[in-house]
């Protein structure tokens, strides 16, 4: 009689202590447990990860079960600084084979993170190899796997070192905008990679012509984005456990309170590139759900030195603006939404007017670009230094030219108007859609029509459109679409211009655009416009009169840039949406 052959041990694997506990607590069935163990043996994978694949539960659920069942503390290992682990306490092969992380080695004890604390054979092997007593903590299996991959590819410091390699960041250093705080010398050895990484991010943003850098913490990741030519783009993701170090470093250099994380803070810092070159940054922090978001505005002083020709004004617009700002008194207003280049336009005008024989004072919130020879004042509402208070003080300092960062209320508007009426040139900004609506905005604030008519001499509305890269290509657009966009029959009959669109190359990173150009509506206040204002006319009446006098609105100025091949029709339609 033939006897039955015993089954191979591999056919029915012995269920581990963790598996038996799951079955006893009816968390999984025995069939699922056996199937997962067989798959783990065949794939050389963790048993718990195979259970997750079989949808028996999540890695976090199994970690919580192990912690509760076997009595070991639960640790979120993703928040543990990988640069501080005792990775050399045990052999890397043993560490990777059993999927354990040596967290801390102190005296004769080793703290070990493990997903399955019932696997005493692993504990015995580690104890035998190291001669240390082993203390266990439970961690999620998937996070242990990712953590070990990170250790295998290098520590966080090594990763950041690779990111900063060949960036030139070692030749620059960050420092406070004030002289009283040290730069990189105060950084500890442990934080040095973070310092170099931040410097690389700043250098890359400057080299790419970015205007802002966003450091953004989220629940599962920490990303860094830059705004270049008006478009946000992600440039890096860093380990989540570095968010506090990055935030602390930026706050220290910006002279902010590193212990205060509940309220927004504002500060300044600079990146010293050489003895003669430094870039200033305006730093703003904002408490979010998962940490502090930090935004850096790049303030390049050279942008104010470009000259009015580089900003994109048409010859007739430039002539009108220069004529207005060189008059002995009156008010010139620059309008547009946030990020439309109003500050650069104002600073360019101030730079033109900044001569030895004039006294210029500015009230700003905050002063973004330092201009030697101009008395710049930062607003401080908490201390009582408001725009209105600064303007009153300016008038006692014998000014020739006054620049107000923004007219926000009636009090500021009335003082600015009186200054313009009493022999001072006043430059300021307002947030309005176009030049004609600026007059109505002042009237809605409460400024009397007579005061508006007798003080405002010119209004400039502006937008920024992306310039086409040199790789631009000819495109064809249906005639109906061109007419709808605002081109006239005469424009379409003219064959001397060509319609271009973006193509994309290495120089523009495939976007088809490189840099930005201003689109302007420059509206001098004429006698007829003054009459309309005095008789209670609205912004539509002023706009109609401006058209009669040949003032191009924003869309018409944008279409002129399209005809010149400077930008695309799609870009003009996007930034002059009517």
Helix axes 192-207, 243-253, angle to 10 degrees: 70
For 188, the token pair is: 């500890």
Alpha helices in 402-519 (DSSP H): 410-421, 435-445, 449-455, 479-485, 489-493
β-bridge mates for residue 228, sequence order: 210, 231
- What is the per-residue burial (b if ≥16 Cβ within 10 Å, else e) of 72-96? beebebbebebbebbbebbeeeebe
Q: What is the pLDDT of residues 124-144, one digit of tens each?
A: 888 888 888 888 888 888 888
Instruction: Provide the 8-state DSSP code for 4.
Output: P
Compute CA distances 179 → 44, 269, 517, 545, whole Å: 58, 11, 36, 54
Q: Kindly tell me if the per-residue pLDDT of 577 is higher than 80.
A: no
Residue with the bigger pLDDT between 372 and 554: it is 554
pLDDT of residue 17: 80
**CA-based nearest residue to 109, from 125, 132, 137:** 132
The two structure tokens encoding residue 278 = 């430094």
Instruction: Examine residue 223 and say whether the peptide bond preceding it is cis (omega within 30 degrees of 0).
Output: no
Q: Give the DSSP letter of residue 328.
A: S
CA dist 568 and 512 (Å) reads: 10
The pLDDT value given to residue 73 = 86
Instruction: Assess whether pLDDT exceeds 70 at residue 2.
Output: no
pLDDT value at 317 more than 90: yes
For range 460-467, the mean pLDDT: 93
Q: Which letter, b or e, does each residue of 193-222 get, where b requires 16 or more Cβ atoms within 10 Å of its Cβ?
A: bbbbbbbbbbbbbbeeebbbbbbbbeeeeb
CB contact burial 328-341 (16+ within 10 A = b; e otherwise):
ebbbbbbbbeeebb
Give the mean model confidence (pLDDT) for residues 539-563: 94
Q: How far apart are CA 11 and CA 5, in angstroms?
A: 13
Distance CA 149, CA 35 (A): 26
Please give the Cα distance from 22 to 126 (Å, whole number). 25
Instruction: Give the chain's radius of gyration (CA, Å).
Output: 33
pLDDT at residue 556 in the model: 94
Phi then psi dihedrals of residue 265, to 5 deg:
-135, 155
Q: What percent of the chain has pLDDT over 90?
A: 38
Residue 4 confidence class, pLDDT cut points 50, 70, 90: very low
> What count of Cα atoms within 13 Å lies in the side-chain half-sphere of residue 43?
14
How far CA 187 is from CA of 30, 136, 176, in Å, comes to: 55, 33, 14
Beta carbons of 341 and 518 less than 8 angstroms apart: yes
Concatenated DSSP letters of 276-293: S-EEEEEEEEEEETTEEE
Which of these, 331, 334, 543, lies nearest to 453 by C-alpha position?
331
Mean pLDDT of the chain, nearest integer: 84
pLDDT at 348 over 70: yes
Pair 93, 152: CB distance under 8 Å? no
pLDDT band at 372 (very low <50, low <70, confident <90, very high): confident
Residue 320 confidence (pLDDT): 95
Report the predicted TM-score, pTM, of the whole model to 2 decimal places. 0.65
Share of the chain above pLDDT 70, in %: 88
Cα(327)–Cα(334) distance, integer angstroms? 16
* pLDDT the model gives residue 217: 93
β-sheet bridge partners, residue 148: none
Q: pLDDT-derived band of residue 312, with 50, 70 and 90 as boundaries?
A: confident
**Cα(51)–Cα(444) distance, integer angstroms:** 67
Nearest to 36 by CA among 20, 17, 49: 49
Q: Which residue has the higher pLDDT, 165 or 431?
A: 431
pLDDT score of 72? 84
For residue range 175-193, what is the model confidence (pLDDT) as tens digits?
666 543 334 444 433 456 7
Q: Is 14 exposed, middle or buried (0-12, 13-18, 19+ CB in 10 A)?
A: exposed
pLDDT at 178: 54
pLDDT tens profile 253-303: 999 998 888 999 988 888 887 776 788 899 999 999 999 999 999 987 766
- The answer to whether 371 and 354 are in contact (CB under 8 A) is yes
Q: What is the pLDDT of residues 66-119, one digit of tens each?
A: 888 888 888 887 767 666 677 677 877 788 888 888 888 877 888 888 888 888
Mean pLDDT of 430-440: 91
Task: Work out the average pLDDT over 390-402.
Answer: 90
Tracing tokens 């905050």 back to the chain, one arrives at 366
Higher-pLDDT residue of 259 and 578 is 259
Which pLDDT band, with edges at 50, 70 and 90, does 344 fall under?
Answer: confident
Residue-level pLDDT at 306: 65
pLDDT of residue 83: 61
- Average pLDDT value for residue range 241-257: 89
pLDDT at 404: 92
- According to DSSP, the residues that pair with 226 across neighbouring strands are 213, 233
Return the structure tokens found at 495.
């064959």
Q: What is the pLDDT of residues 201-234, one digit of tens each?
A: 898 888 888 889 999 999 888 999 999 888 898 8
- Looking at residue 171, its pLDDT comes to 53
The count of C-alpha atoms lying within 13 angstroms of the C-alpha of 372, restricted to the half-sphere facing its C-beta, is 2
pLDDT in the model for residue 545: 95
- Tell me if 293 sits within 8 A of 217, measured CB to CB: yes
**pLDDT digits 0-9 by tens, 465-510:** 999 999 999 999 999 999 999 999 999 998 899 999 999 888 887 8
- In this predicted structure, the answer to whether residue 457 has a pLDDT above a threshold of 60 is yes
């Amino acid at each position: 009689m033939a006897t039955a052959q015993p089954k191979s041990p591999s056919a029915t694997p012995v269920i581990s202590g963790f598996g038996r506990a799951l079955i006893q607590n009816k968390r999984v069935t025995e069939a699922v447990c056996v199937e997962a163990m067989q798959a783990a043996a065949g794939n050389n994978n963790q048993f718990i990860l195979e259970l997750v694949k079989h949808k028996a539960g999540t890695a976090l659920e199994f970690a919580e079960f192990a912690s509760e069942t076997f009595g070991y503390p639960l640790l979120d290992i993703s928040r543990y600084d990988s640069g501080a682990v005792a990775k050399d306490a045990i052999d890397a092969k043993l560490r990777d084979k059993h999927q354990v992380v040596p967290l801390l080695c102190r005296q004769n004890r080793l703290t070990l993170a493990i997903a399955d604390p019932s696997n005493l054979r692993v504990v015995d092997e580690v104890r035998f190899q190291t001669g240390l007593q082993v203390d266990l903590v439970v961690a999620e299996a998937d996070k242990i796997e990712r953590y070990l991959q990170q250790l295998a590819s290098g520590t966080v410091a090594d990763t950041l070192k690779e990111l900063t390699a060949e960036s030139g960041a070692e030749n620059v250093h960050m420092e406070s905008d004030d002289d009283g705080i040290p730069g990189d010398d105060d950084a500890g050895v442990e934080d040095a990679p973070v310092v170099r990484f931040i410097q690389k991010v700043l250098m890359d943003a400057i080299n790419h012509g970015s205007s802002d850098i966003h450091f953004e913490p989220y629940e599962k990741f920490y990303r860094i984005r830059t705004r270049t030519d008006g478009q946000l783009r992600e440039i890096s993701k860093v380990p989540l456990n570095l968010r506090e170090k990055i935030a602390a470093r930026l706050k220290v250099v910006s002279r902010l309170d590193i212990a205060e994380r509940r309220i927004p803070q504002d500060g300044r810092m600079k990146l010293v590139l050489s003895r003669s070159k430094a870039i200033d940054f305006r730093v703003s922090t904002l408490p979010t759900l998962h940490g502090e978001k930090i935004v850096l505005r790049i303030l390049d002083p050279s942008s104010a030195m470009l000259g009015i020709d580089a900003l994109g004004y048409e010859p007739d617009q430039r002539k009108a603006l220069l004529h207005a700002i060189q008059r002995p008194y009156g008010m010139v207003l620059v309008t547009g939404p946030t990020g439309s280049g109003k500050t650069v336009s104002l600073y360019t005008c101030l730079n033109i007017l900044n001569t030895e024989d004039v006294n210029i004072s500015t009230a700003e919130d905050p002063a973004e670009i330092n201009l030697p020879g101009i008395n710049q004042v930062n607003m401080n509402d908490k201390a009582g230094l408001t725009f209105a208070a600064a303007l009153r003080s300016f008038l006692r300092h014998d000014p020739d030219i006054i620049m107000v960062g923004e007219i926000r209320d009636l009090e500021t508007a009335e003082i600015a108007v009186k200054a313009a009426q009493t022999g001072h040139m006043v430059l300021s900004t307002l947030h309005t859609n176009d030049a004609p609506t600026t007059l109505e905005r002042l009237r809605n604030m409460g400024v009397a029509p007579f005061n508006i008519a007798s003080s405002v001499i010119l209004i400039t509305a502006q937008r920024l459109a992306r310039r086409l890269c040199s790789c631009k290509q000819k495109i064809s657009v249906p005639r109906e679409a061109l007419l709808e966009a605002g081109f006239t029959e005469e424009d379409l009959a003219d064959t001397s211009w060509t319609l271009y669109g973006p193509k994309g190359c290495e120089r523009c990173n495939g976007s088809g655009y490189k840099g930005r150009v201003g689109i302007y509506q420059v509206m001098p206040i004429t006698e007829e416009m003054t009459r309309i204002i005095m008789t209670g006319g609205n912004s539509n009446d002023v706009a109609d009169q401006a058209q009669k006098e040949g003032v191009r609105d924003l869309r018409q100025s944008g279409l002129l840039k399209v005809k010149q091949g400077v930008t695309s029709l799609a870009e003009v339609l996007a930034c002059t949406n009517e």
